[in-house]
Homo-oligomer: A and B are copies of this chain.
Amino acid sequence: MERLPALERLTACLARLPGVGSRTAERMALRLVRDPGGLARDLAEALTEARSRVVGCSQCGSVTATDRNPCRLCTAPNRDDGLLCVVEDPNDILTIERCGGFRGRYHALMGRISPMKGSGPDDLRIQALRVRVGQGGLREVVLALNTDVEGDATASYIAHVLEGCGAKITRLAFGLPAGSGIMYSDAVTLRRALEGRQPA
């Protein structure tokens, strides 16, 4: 097949998206240039529009309209200012909001400490978190990080950094996911669920 530099460039861009490998990117690129519905044009326009209308929230790091910064979640009057939820990714804010169990403020780190991927504390919004917590007024900082090795390491590091800030530092509970069976649980989850057992 002929080498098409324009197609290769598009493929390389698509492969930078989360969860997209080189074969998937190739498939997407071909679809984009051959889509009869004008997907390539629509996507290019949507990207340009999003770039001009959407920015990162200066407070929580999530996304917001260019003319509304900090974002609605950071400024909503009916939320608890004493409670701060720290997440890895703005996406996690969406997920937590959907569950409806949290009414405080958010702070997205924009990643996690990952020596393998060359991402250290300085690549994250940890300094911004420290400043925010240092301003006082917080009762509790909830670390809602992923429950894998890197998430755990990031949580430990942040707990250490925030030591003595006056607010309580907590993590989400470990345990069995809803609707799952003991039989299907992995050993780590089950051990953590046992350690965290609660009165019935």
Contacts and interface: CB of A to CB of B under 8 A. Distances in A.
Interface of A: 1-2, 4-7, 9-10, 12-14, 16-20, 24, 26-35, 37, 39-44, 46-56, 61-65, 68, 71-73, 89-91, 93-94, 97, 110
Q: Is the interface of A mostly helix, strand, loop or mixed?
A: helix
Given A27-B19, A30-B90, A31-B18, A46 B1 contact: no
Contact of A9 (B49, B56, B64): B49
B50 A97 contact: no
B65 A2 contact: yes
Q: How many copies does the complex hold?
A: 2
A47 B10 contact: yes
A50 B33 CA distance: 7
B6 A54 contact: yes
A113 B63 CA distance: 41
Nearest to A108: B34
A27 B18 CA distance: 7
Contact of A48 (B26, B44, B50, B93): B44
A110 B17 contact: no
Nearest to A12: B46
Nearest to A94: B1
A187 B17 CA distance: 37
B4 A90 contact: no
A72 B4 CA distance: 11
B71 A56 contact: no
A14 to B, nearest CB: 7
A9 B51 CA distance: 12
A7 to B, nearest CB: 5
Contacts of A34: 56, 61, 63, 90, 110
A64 B29 CA distance: 13
B62 A51 contact: no
24 contacts: A1-B71, A1-B94, A2-B72, A4-B54, A4-B63, A6-B52, A7-B50, A7-B54, A13-B42, A14-B43, A17-B31, A18-B28, A18-B31, A19-B27, A20-B28, A30-B90, A30-B91, A33-B54, A34-B56, A34-B61, A41-B47, A43-B43, A43-B47, A47-B47
